[in-house]
Amino acid sequence: MKTQKIGAWIAVLFGASYFIVPLIATFEFSLRMRRGEYSFDAYRSVFSDIQFRESFSYSIMMAILTIIFGVLLVVPTAYWVRLRLPQMRPVVEFITLMPLVIPAIVIVFGYLRLYNSSSYIPFTGSARGTDMLLMFSFMTLSLPYMYRSVDTAMRTIDVGTLTEAAQSLGASWPTIMFKCIFPNVMSGVLSGAFITFAIVIGEFTMPSLLNRPAFGPYLQLIGANRAYEPPALAIIAFAITWGCMALLQLVSRFSKSAPSKP
């Protein structure tokens, strides 16, 4: 019993240092910009960079659009599969897991070949079209997480009974969808949204290969050309991820303590 506890402490201390030392090192490095003393110059430099602001707001815009369209695609599908097409469940679940199986770089490679300017659907022919394609590619990336969290939320409410109750009260399909189903799976939607946000903000491969000015490629560019800004950016990125996960925890805890009852 005693040795077991000592072993556990050693494991935890080792893990903690593996996780924390790089963060401390990064933070320390980000303060080194001014010679001979610590300063927040690197952060000042980052925040005053017009490209930082542009690429960051572009990625936030993208994240919001991805979340909206992702939710509009996933929630009705998950609902419909539970309600009317339970036999399609394995197929739909398999499809939603595909983005975990096929590497992002392969997927975007396919897009570039399939939707180039000389194809039938020339997404990449214009900047707007490429933006759309990028949004769809983000939706693809977040599909496994979004679907899983929404589907889990739907399992806790009995969608069949809820729908029948709404129908017997004379509700139309849009009313059922937006007044009954959505509010009840909100916790799942929110957790999916936060993960999507974290993924979209940091994603490098897709916007880089589609040549869009997103935050990921900007980070890479800065990393290749500057010395002290990259660690500052890493700290900022870590804070963003941390914020998303904190909100996620908050939402899941909230929905656990107050389960939505139909």
Partner 1 sequence: MSSKQAIDLKKTAIDWLGIAPFLLFAVMFLIAPTLYLVTGAFVNPAGEFTFDNVAGLFTDKILASYWISIKISLASSIGGAFIGFFLAWAVVLGGLPSWIRSSLLTFSGVASNFAGVPLAFAFLATLGRTGLVTMLLRDWFGINLYASGFNLLSFIGLTLTYMYFQIPLMVLIITPALDGLKKEWREAAEILGATNTQYWTKVAMPILFPSILGTTLLLFANAFGAIATAYSLTGSTFNIVPIQLYAQIRGDVLHNPNLGYALALGMIVITGISNLIYIWLRMRAERWQK
Near partner 1 in 95-154, by CB under 8 A: 95, 97-114, 136-137, 139-140
Distance, in Å, from the CA atom of 88 to the CA atom of 200, rounded to the nearest integer, reads 29
We find the least distance from the C-beta atom of residue 224 to partner 1, in angstroms, to be 7
**Residue 96 CB burial class (10 angstroms; 0-12, 13-18, ≥19):** buried
We find the least distance from the C-beta atom of residue 157 to partner 1, in angstroms, to be 18
We find the least distance from the C-beta atom of residue 262 to partner 1, in angstroms, to be 21
Which C-beta is closer to partner 1: that of 157 or that of 230? 230
Which C-beta is closer to partner 1: that of 4 or that of 118? 4
Distance, in Å, from the CA atom of 9 to the CA atom of 74, rounded to the nearest integer, reads 43
- Mention every residue, 6+ apart, whose C-beta is less than 8 A from residue 159: 79, 82, 83, 181
Interaxial angle between packed helices 229-257 and 2-30, expressed in degrees from 0 to 180 and rounded to the nearest 10: 130
How far lies 182's CA from each of 89, 91, 170, in Å? 20, 23, 18
Q: How many CB atoms lie within 10 A of CB 186?
A: 16
Q: Which stretch binds partner 1 (CB under 8 A): 46-54, 162-170, 180-188, 202-210?
A: 202-210
What is the 3 state secondary structure string of 31-59?
CCCCCCCCCCHHHHHHHHCHHHHHHHHHH
Which C-beta is closer to partner 1: that of 18 or that of 35? 18
According to CB under 8 A, which one of 51, 53, 88, 127 is a site residue for partner 1? 88
> How many chain residues interact with partner 1 (CB under 8 A)?
80
Q: How many CB atoms lie within 10 A of CB 241?
A: 16
| 68 sits near partner 1 (criterion: CB under 8 A) | no
We find the least distance from the C-beta atom of residue 261 to partner 1, in angstroms, to be 26
Q: Which stretch binds partner 1 (CB under 8 A): 47-55, 154-162, 181-189, 215-223?
A: 215-223
Nearest to 40 by CA among 237, 225, 232, 239: 232
Q: Which stretch binds partner 1 (CB under 8 A): 56-64, 152-160, 163-171, 237-245?
A: 237-245
Write the DSSP symbol of residue 261.
P
CA atoms within 13 A on the CB side of 155: 7
| 205 sits near partner 1 (criterion: CB under 8 A) | yes
Binding mask 216-235 toward partner 1 (x if CB under 8 A, else -) reads x--xx--xx-----xx-xx-
According to CB under 8 A, which one of 55, 59, 66, 77 is a site residue for partner 1? 77
| 35 sits near partner 1 (criterion: CB under 8 A) | no
According to CB under 8 A, which one of 14, 47, 178, 254 is a site residue for partner 1? 14
DSSP, collapsed to helix, strand or coil, labels residue 118 as coil
We find the least distance from the C-beta atom of residue 220 to partner 1, in angstroms, to be 5
